[in-house]
Structure 1
């Protein structure tokens, strides 16, 4: 797998992502002293459910998210029952369940993650702002099979450290990027499941052309996931045409009156089975994403 390296220096994120990353460091610092306990609990967790394999198919696969609130929307479904919601998603054919565990702005918890992991048979991913290996051990102890890493929130030495820790823990990683420099960093650490977020987490602005524009630059050997801003089949179609293997959907289905039907509907879109040559796509994208 070839990586395209970028010389753009990393700076600590600003805006909403900066606040959430700072909070994540504080939460990690509060539990790092219990690392040995989390490791012991992880050893007793049920076996992982293969994550990447669940995202392959002729149709765009759905990572369905349990999401009570967000910084951009405020309350979405504040009384949502995580287990009932996840069961509804699985009934609709979701390939995996994303559980937000960030407590202050998303209303999530590790208890949600553990409960959902016990209740479904498909992979469960911890969605949070993870900055320290102890948080990966927390995820595995709660039954997660995968976890999210946001490249923009991680310093150059933190991303490889967390990827190495994930291998030790036994978690699959969904590595999230928004531009070519971040994609370079993901490829450099051998990420095999790469998400492209249409939302700029620093400003909270959505650009629906981000994922369709960057996904063709992801090598075919990787799983490509489009994230944010997809509510309708028309929203899913550009990502599918660009070669996305899966989409991550949260707000729309968390607030849906019939989440089972919504997951089934969004998962009915055929994907482009062969992405364009990544190097050629990158050459076209340099002007926008570099």
Structure 2
């Protein structure tokens, strides 16, 4: 069983537990469920294109930074030009929580991507209830039919959809309603990083679709390489969580 399989097995149990504690109707009664969402499509064009991530740990890297608070980090991200923030809500493998989103929602005015492994309709109502604006669909753990159905559900809740792919086979998961296609530079099964693989895959995307380079962007040269290859957005977490200043990074890559 690879890492992704372990995560999905755990996620199924986690969702079942959540359903037993809180109904969809209760989620709809939450403070944020009726709020007007922010659009990543707009901010990705008007700002840096960086979706800056708050992530305490990962299966491949272990603890990245367990000291900083979500509010402290994402406030800096917004202040210095991030187009959006990504917040991990998986607890077991990434050290995230719903509270990380809830604690920052009223303090920033850019989109929040709920970063998790979405396998059940219930999770979309959760995402809406905690104040997310965008959700992630991972092709590696969903069928094309599920991606299509989940995309429609997300849009009915005014949530934008980022579809993550890593292989040529997963191109078939793309449908006309997807808002963004993210290409993960890191293979979720063995966590190896290959930027050129992502560029090759990007060249096969449908024309006109927003493309996001995800993960494995470790320095300014990586960013510039991917930007020159035509990516519209850049999902970055570990680089900033290890203490590199987003202020300096954005200043240097936009010179």
The TM-score, its normalising length taken from structure 1, stands at 0.82
Residues 134-174 of structure 1: per-residue CA shift (max 9 Å, x gap): 11111111111111110111134422221121122211011
Residue of structure 1 equivalent to 2:237 = 250
Task: Name 2:98's counterpart in structure 1.
Answer: 110
Distance 1:164 1:92, change over 3 A: same
Offset of residue 83 of structure 1:
0.5
- Match in the other structure for 1:222: 209
1:124 aligns with 2:112: yes
Q: Is the 8 A contact 1:66 1:100 kept in 2?
A: yes
Q: Would you identify which runs of 4 or more consecutive aligned residues in structure 1 move more than 6 Å? A: none
Mapped partners of 1:129, 1:98: distance in 2 = 13
Give the Å deviation of 1:110. 0.5
Instruction: Provide closer, same or farther for how the CA distance between residues 88 and 120 of structure 1 changes in structure 2, counting only shifts above 3 A.
Output: same
Q: Deviation per CA, 1:34-90, whole angstroms, max 9, x where unpaired? A: 122112327744210011121125x86100000111111100001121001001111
Instruction: Name the residue aligned to 1:207.
Output: 194
Aligned to 2:6: 19
Pairwise mapping of residues 141-290 of structure 1 onto structure 2 (< 5 A)?
Answer: 141-186=129-174, 188=175, 190-266=177-253, 268=254
Task: Provide the rounded CA distance (Å) in 1 between the counterparts of 2:172 and 2:29.
Answer: 34
CA distance in 1, matches of 2:14, 2:34: 22
Instruction: Tell me the SS of whatever aligns to 1:72.
Output: coil
In structure 2, the CA distance between the partners of 1:259 and 1:239, relative to structure 1 (3 Å rule), is closer
How far did residue 207 of structure 1 move?
1.3
Residue 75 (structure 2) pairs with residue 75 (structure 1): no
Separation in 2 of the partners of 1:210 and 1:37?
A: 43
TM-score (norm 2): 0.92
Whether 1:97 and 2:80 are equivalent positions in the alignment is no
Measure the CA separation in 1 of the matches of 2:238 and 2:5.
22
The number of residues matched between the two structures is 253
1:45 touches 1:142 (CA, 8 Å); kept in 2? no
Uncovered stretches (5+) of structure 1, i.e. residues with no partner: 1-13, 270-290
Residue aligned with 1:86, SS: helix
* Alpha-carbon spacing, 1:45–1:118, altered in 2? closer, same or farther (3 Å): farther
Taking the aligned partners of 1:38 and 1:223, their CA distance within structure 2 comes to 31
